Amino acid sequence: MGLFDRHAGLLEAYRDVRTTGADPFQIRMERVLSPTEAIINGRKTLLVGTNNYFGLTFDPSCMEAAIEAIRAEGTGTTGSRIANGSYSEHVLLEEEIAAFYGKKHCMVFTTGYQANLGVISTLVGQGDHLLIDADSHASIYDACKMTQAEVVRFKHNDPSSLESRLRRLGDKSGNRLVILEGIYSMLGDSAPLREFVDVCKKYGAYVLVDEAHSLGALGETGRGLCESAGVLDDCHFIVGTFSKTLGAIGGYCVSNDPDFDILRVTVRSYMFTASLPPSIVASVRQALRVVQARPELRKQLWDNVATLYDGLAAQGFKLGPEHGPVVGVHLPDRMLAIGFWRAMLDAGIYVNVAVPPATPNGVSLLRCSVCAAHTPEQLQHMIEVMTGIGRQLGVLSGAPKLRVVAGSR
Amino acid sequence: MSDPGTGEQLLRTAHQLIVENDDIANTLELPRLASRLDVIREICRHLAPYQAGERPIVGATVIAKDLTIDSLAIMDMVMELEDSFDVSIPMNVVAEIHTVDQLADTILDLRAKR
Ligand SMILES: Cc1ncc(COP(=O)(O)O)c(C=O)c1O
């Protein structure tokens, strides 16, 4: 048996995708012009699939901070946090994130993926119980493979499904850790966090919330779903990323647990990889200041979400269940999703395409992510283009239907 | 109600009881006597949409191989079965299960240990 034989099914599916034209998984951004535009295939393309919720990748103050840091401290740390890779700025960044959340401790990781992978797999071990939402991100699933704890999935966003699983554990020994996400990355829906927290309290379970897509977007001061649901104090661990709203790369975990720092010498994805370069630390510190100083970015983001979501819904597109910075457009099957995606790209608009097995319930999606920097005109244009393609491909029936729109911020 | 061997009816009832998992549902126990046949039937009901061609689904059917079901759908089916039979099957245990028989035995074992 050859090394690649086990991937035969996937290879075949992938070949199918490629024979029909451009490969959605090998798109090249020839030149990025701004948070909302890039040159792709030689032409200017509108970007509506970059997780760049506040558009901070080109924020002049963040860029300047990064450039200055490179001049002062060089391009990289060439070492891990437990060796030569802890600079004063890493520690300052950790203090600033902890202060932002009003928590005592913070650890910064080189990516959000590594934060989830390392923290989750280390917090629970043999004899413990890890309970995860069925639609959890890959980094959470991968953490499950690295722990000796017993892992059980509960139904997506369903507190009663979590409750029955906690109840079944009865008086078995071992800690219970429940993993939730602020906003789910495929359909843009958020967890009924308060209800989840109530269940967790009832059964004495610890709660970890991944705010990857909700940092900046949710909460009065942008701290995410934990803040908007009013349960910051009840969430024992909050994980997040610098790679979306903060426009850079990296991850973090905050907590009030007095022994939290022991993770610095136990979490392998923290210990055995190089730390973030000075330029990233500097731009993230500045981006966090921008998030706090410019709440209008949050309002712009949600105004844009409403424009895109309501506009697409009014045309009859089937969308995720509620307004969110991620707008997932349901399409009937994989080939149609890829065909639609490609037609969009030909029309000068880039979105993400998400197909099984990367999606929940085997759905095929065009995954759009909204940016505060999108103009209403850009989004109107996108709605028009999508509607035209949707009609051509038979996804939309001829006459536009008005539809009641669910959800709000 | 008395014959657990033909427990179709019992099973349906249990199914409905567990949906709303409030404290009342907790006290109304599931069919105490879910027979092996009940369990196999319920598994087959979930797997029916994934049948490949005419080959019937039997105890020895290898779920991931003989059927058109993918690994995510298997995990989702397990979640449904967990609620039907009021047991939790950890993911590492699911990973070791290959056949319908093994899945049924796992569920029965876990029920016996409750
Ligand atoms: C829910 C969730 N968690 C974690 C991550 C990982 O983030 P990072 O890009 O920092 O590795 C992502 C990003 O894909 C995500 O969507």
pLDDT value of position B33: 66
Distance CA B91, CA B99 (A): 16
Q: How far is CA B98 from CA A79, B34, B52, B74, B84, in A?
A: 44, 21, 16, 11, 20
Residue A15 class from Cβ within 10 Å (0-12 exposed, 13-18 middle, 19+ buried)?
Answer: exposed
Residue of the nearest CA to atom 3 in ligand 1? Answer: A212
User: What is the pTM for the complete model shown?
Assistant: 0.90
CB contact under 8 A, A151 and B26: no
pLDDT at B20 over 90: no
Beta-carbon pairs below 8 A across chains A and B: 48
Average pLDDT score over chain A: 94
Angle subtended by helix axes A8-19 and A334-346, to nearest 10: 40
Confidence tier at A14 by pLDDT (50, 70, 90): confident
Helix and strand numbers (H, E) in chain A are: 13, 14
Q: How many residues does chain A have?
A: 409
A152/B90 CB distance under 8 A? yes
Distance to chain A for B18, nearest Cα, Å: 9
- pLDDT (mean) for B79-83: 96
Task: Inform me whether the pLDDT recorded for A347 exceeds 70.
Answer: yes
For a ligand 1 pocket test, name from A109, A117, A185, A215 the mutation site with the most ligand atoms within 8 angstroms of its C-beta: A185
CA of A112 to the centre of ligand 1 (A): 5
Mutating to test ligand 1, I would choose from A139, A141, A156, A269 the residue with most ligand atoms within 8 A of its C-beta, which is A139
Closest chain B residue to A155, measured at CA: B79
Least confident of A179-188, A252-261, B28-37, B72-81: B28-37
Report, as an integer, the average pLDDT of A13-18: 73
The interface predicted TM-score (ipTM) is 0.86
Model pLDDT, residue A205:
98
Q: Please report the pLDDT score of residue A383 as a whole number.
A: 98
- Which is the closest atom of ligand 1 to the Cα of A184? 1
CA A113–ligand 1 middle distance (angstroms): 5
Q: What is the pLDDT of residue A170?
A: 95
CA dist list (Å): A86 to A66, A76, A274, A278, B5: 17, 11, 10, 10, 66
Q: Name the E strands within A317-384.
A: 326-331, 349-350, 352-354, 364-369
Q: What does the pLDDT look like over A314-331, one tens digit per residue?
A: 999 999 999 999 999 999
Is A160's CB within 8 Å of B20's CB?
yes
Task: Give the pLDDT mean for A238-254.
Answer: 98
Question: Looking at residues A149-166, what average pLDDT do you find?
Answer: 98
pLDDT grade, residue B31 (50/70/90)? low
- Whether the predicted pLDDT of B12 surpasses 70: no
Q: What is the mean pLDDT of residues A184-213?
A: 97
Torsion sign across C-alpha atoms A92, A93, A99, A102: negative
Give the per-residue pLDDT at B15.
36
| B81-102 core/surface letters (b: 16 or more CB in 10 A; e: else) | bbbbbbbbbbbebbeebebbbe
Angstroms from B90 CA to nearest CA on chain A: 5
pLDDT at A361 over 90: no
Residue A397 confidence class, pLDDT cut points 50, 70, 90: confident
d(CA A305, CA A115): 28
Structure tokens at B25: 């549902």
A57-68: average pLDDT: 98
Sequence-ordered list of residues with C-beta below 8 angstroms from that of A396, at least 6 positions apart, any chain: A315, A316, A317, A387, A390
Query: A112 in helix, strand or coil?
Result: helix
What are the helix (H) ranges across chain B? 8-19, 23-27, 36-47, 63-66, 71-85, 91-96, 100-112
Do A23 and A17 touch, CB atoms closer than 8 A?
Answer: yes
Task: Provide the β-strand partners of residue A354.
Answer: A365
Look-up: residue for tokens 């505060």? A372
Q: What was the pLDDT predicted at A20?
A: 64
Query: What is the per-residue pLDDT across A26-38, written as a single tens digit (0 to 9) for each?
Result: 889 999 999 999 9
In the predicted structure, residue A16 carries a pLDDT above the cut 80: no
- The percentage of residues in chain A with a pLDDT greater than 90, rounded to a whole number, is 88
